[in-house]
């Protein structure tokens, strides 16, 4: 079972993604505080991280960049998601694998995740 | 107008100046001749009393040395009978006007007639008449008129020069203001006008600058609000849409599933509206950026038609006159957005019809795309307005929803590609065209 770490400060979206992914046979850890990412990666050992861009107190793109510059985490695929579609332009800057615009189709979310975990 | 006023005022001033001067000269002449006539009269009292006309004539001839302008002098007795006369040698005979004897002085042409009674012991014993040729008056008149004309011409030239420079200075600043106003109304871009003068035009320019700053400030606040509001709206919408999608997966009972479908369809409309508002906000703040690449327009047309066809249950989208494999240099996603918009409009505004047509045609170094329908059409007077923000055709019935943003966004996208977008419409149906630059063949 593939493990997905979901980070979003909007708890409703967080629960929604958790439900959808769990229903589709993913093991999910959902956190609303970005400060806990390192801990979660250490104990949960995710196969992919789904990361919101506009987090309270942090920019998802900076977190992604930092993960990609750390030896232990650079192999982890990161998918960014945001309500601001313009954020999709910054994928290369932070080495993220994909971008999903909110609101998203559930099928599109699942298809994109499957693309990077299998 | 200002120069004309100056010329009129100058003409009046110079005329008054010349007339007053001539009048003053005449007045002086009358006074001096009256005095002379009185002196002659006094000197002739004894000649009249003693009937010595020779002595009287001698007195009159003396006038030649006193005032050479006098060409004729007469002394008449109390009965009006000529007593003595003097005519300047060589002077032309000029008849004495009838009223010259009644008035103290009379001007006839360039002659002055002055009469003065000869009084002795409080009784009038005769009259002196002097005829004066005002040859000097002609010279004065000529000189004054010439001077006035010269001054007038000089003043006119001077006022023209001043007017030319002032008008140039004023016109330049006013034209700059007019051009800025035109640019603002045409492109919406505004740069403050620099003007360091201290006159009314500076006040006008300063007031305009201030007004535009306020307009820009309020525009900026409004656009920021649209941007933030649209972004903030998307977050709860993501939850609503997601949970309803989930519910739809779980719910198999009717009519619950149908109700959910309806709700989701409306969420899609809301999503598209928010997206349009965001695009407008980006256009207004200059943040709409293009990601330019080369792509095959033929493929994009087929893909977009297929995607729109999937959601349209009423119309069939038919492709005609295919321009094969034409490579354009553009933002693929934005051009797709324009196509979706035009196709959706064609379907939306042709209720009861069954077909929408798409054509692509090469024209010079451009590719022209045409999307046409047989719907309600666009009246001629509204064919420019429909590309403006929040503009909706007046004839549209209220059941056709829309915010009047789609074509405005399309126009901006196409404009940013150095292309053109326009509509042609008759009584029934309308055809929307847009052009895109083709990749130049190497």
Facing residue for B245 by CB, picked from A83, A85, A106 = A106
Determine, for residues B239 and A12 on separate chains, whether the beta-carbon distance falls below 8 Å: yes
H or E segment and range at residue B327: strand B327-330
Contacts 24+ apart (CB under 8 A), B74-78: B74/B128, B74/B129, B75/B40, B75/B44, B75/B47, B75/B48, B75/B118, B75/B126, B75/B127, B75/B128, B75/B129, B76/B126, B76/B127, B76/B129, B77/B48, B77/B125, B77/B126, B78/B124, B78/B125, B78/B126
Predicted local confidence at residue B80, as pLDDT: 82
Homologous superfamily, domain A3-116: Response regulator (3.40.50.2300)
- Give the alpha-carbon dihedral of B116, B121, B123, B127, to 10 degrees: -30
Report how many Cβ contacts below 8 Å link chain A to chain B.
48
**A16: closest CA among A117, A118, A100?**
A100
Determine, for residues B238 and A89 on separate chains, whether the beta-carbon distance falls below 8 Å: no
Predicted local confidence at residue B343, as pLDDT: 94
pTM score, whole prediction: 0.55
CA distance B40 to B56: 9
**B71: closest CA among B102, B111, B39, B27?**
B111
Facing residue for B238 by CB, picked from A83, A84, A85 = A83
Write the CA distances from B8 to B11, B12, B15, B148, B156, integer angstroms.
5, 6, 11, 14, 10
- The encoded tokens of residue B134 equal 């005002």
Determine, for residues A105 and B291 on separate chains, whether the beta-carbon distance falls below 8 Å: no
CA distance B139 to B277: 87
Write down the domain spans for chain B: 2-141, 200-285, 293-437
- Choose the CATH number for B200-285 among 3.40.190.290, 1.10.287.130, 3.90.1150.170, 3.40.228.10: 1.10.287.130
Write down the domain spans for chain A: 3-116
Point out the residues of chain B with pLDDT beneath 50: none
Rounded percentage of chain B residues whose pLDDT exceeds 90:
15
Best residue of B237, B245, B250, B275 to probe chain A, by most A CBs closer than 10 Å: B245
Predicted local confidence at residue B108, as pLDDT: 81
Q: Does B259 touch chain A (CB under 8 A)?
A: no
Residue range A95-117: mean pLDDT, rounded: 91
Instruction: Report yes or no: A48 and A27 within 8 Å, Cβ to Cβ.
Output: no
User: Nearest residue on chain A to B271, judged by CA atoms?
Assistant: A103
Q: Does B398 touch chain A (CB under 8 A)?
A: no
Write the CA distances from B105 to B80, B88, B96, B116, integer angstroms.
17, 20, 12, 9
Strand intervals (E) in A1-118: 3-7, 27-31, 48-52, 54-55, 58-59, 78-82, 98-101
Q: Does B248 touch chain A (CB under 8 A)?
A: no
Tell me the pLDDT tens digit for each residue of B272-314.
Answer: 888 888 888 778 777 777 888 888 888 999 999 999 998 888 8
Determine, for residues A19 and B246 on separate chains, whether the beta-carbon distance falls below 8 Å: yes
Homologous superfamily, domain B2-141: PAS domain (3.30.450.20)
Q: Provide φ and ψ at B196, rounded to 5°.
A: -105, 15
Find chain B residues with C-beta within 8 A of A83's C-beta: 231, 234-235, 238
Predicted local confidence at residue A42, as pLDDT: 92
Determine, for residues A83 and B243 on separate chains, whether the beta-carbon distance falls below 8 Å: no
Tell me the pLDDT tens digit for each residue of B357-386.
Answer: 999 888 888 889 999 998 888 888 888 888
The 3-state DSSP class for residue B371 equals: strand
Tell me the pLDDT tens digit for each residue of B397-434.
Answer: 555 666 788 899 999 999 989 899 999 987 778 999 99
Considering the segment(s) B293-437 as one domain, its CATH architecture is 2-Layer Sandwich (3.30)
Q: Does B286 touch chain A (CB under 8 A)?
A: no
Best residue of A15, A83, A89, A101 to probe chain B, by most B CBs closer than 10 Å: A83
Predicted local confidence at residue B221, as pLDDT: 79
Determine, for residues A13 and B235 on separate chains, whether the beta-carbon distance falls below 8 Å: yes
């Amino acid at each position: 079972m593939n493990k997905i770490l979901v980070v979003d400060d909007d708890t409703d979206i967080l629960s929604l993604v958790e439900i959808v992914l769990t229903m589709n046979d993913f093991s999910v850890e959902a956190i609303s505080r970005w400060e806990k990412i390192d801990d979660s990666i250490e104990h949960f050992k995710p196969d992919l991280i789904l990361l919101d861009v506009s987090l309270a107190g942090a920019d998802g793109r900076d977190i992604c960049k930092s993960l990609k510059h750390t030896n232990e985490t650079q192999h982890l695929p990161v998918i960014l998601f945001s309500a601001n579609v313009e954020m999709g332009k910054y994928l290369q800057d932070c080495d993220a694998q994909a971008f999903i615009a909110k609101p998203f189709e559930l099928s599109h979310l699942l298809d994109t995740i499957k693309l990077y975990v299998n | 107008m200002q120069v004309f006023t100056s010329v009129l005022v100058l003409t009046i001033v110079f005329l008054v100046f010349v007339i007053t001067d001539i009048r003053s000269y005449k007045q002086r002449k009358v006074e001096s001749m009256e005095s002379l006539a009185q002196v002659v009269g006094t000197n002739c009292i004894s000649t009249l009393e003693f009937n010595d006309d020779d002595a009287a004539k001698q007195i009159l001839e003396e006038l030649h040395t006193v005032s050479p302008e006098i060409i004729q002098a007469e002394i008449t007795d109390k009965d009006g009978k000529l007593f003595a006369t003097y005519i300047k040698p060589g002077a032309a005979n000029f008849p004495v006007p009838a009223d010259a004897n009644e008035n103290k002085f009379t001007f006839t042409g360039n002659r002055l007639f002055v009469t003065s009674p000869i009084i002795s012991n409080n009784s009038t014993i005769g009259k002196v008449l002097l005829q004066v040729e005002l040859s000097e008056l002609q010279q004065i008149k000529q000189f004054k008129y010439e001077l006035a004309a010269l001054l007038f011409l000089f003043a006119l030239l001077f006022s023209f020069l001043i007017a030319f420079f002032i008008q140039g200075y004023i016109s330049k600043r006013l034209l700059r203001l007019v051009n800025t106003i035109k640019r603002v109304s045409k492109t919406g871009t505004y740069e403050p006008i620099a003007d360091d003068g201290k006159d009314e035009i500076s006040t006008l320019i300063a007031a305009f600058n201030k007004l535009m700053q306020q307009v820009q400030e309020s525009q900026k606040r409004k656009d920021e609000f649209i941007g933030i509001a649209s972004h903030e709206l998307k977050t709860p919408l993501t939850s609503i849409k997601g949970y309803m999608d989930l519910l739809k997966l779980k719910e198999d009972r009717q009519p619950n599933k149908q109700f959910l479908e309806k709700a989701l369809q409306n969420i899609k409309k809301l999503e598209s509206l928010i997206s349009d508002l965001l695009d407008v906000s980006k256009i207004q703040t200059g943040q709409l950026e293009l990601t330019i690449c080369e792509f095959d327009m033929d493929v994009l047309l087929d893909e977009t038609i297929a995607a729109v066809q999937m959601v349209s249950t009423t119309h069939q989208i038919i492709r005609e006159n295919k321009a094969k494999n034409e490579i354009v240099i553009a933002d693929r996603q934005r051009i797709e957005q324009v196509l979706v918009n035009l196709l959706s409009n064609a379907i939306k505004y042709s209720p009861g019809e069954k077909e929408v047509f798409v054509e692509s045609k090469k024209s010079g170094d451009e590719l022209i795309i045409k999307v046409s329908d047989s719907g309600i059409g666009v009246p001629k007077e509204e064919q420019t307005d429909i590309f403006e923000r929040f503009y909706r055709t007046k004839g549209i019935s209220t059941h056709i929803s829309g915010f009047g943003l789609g074509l405005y966004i399309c126009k901006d996208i196409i404009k940013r590609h150095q292309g053109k977008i326009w509509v042609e419409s008759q009584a029934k149906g309308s055809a929307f065209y847009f052009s895109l630059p083709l990749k130049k063949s190497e």
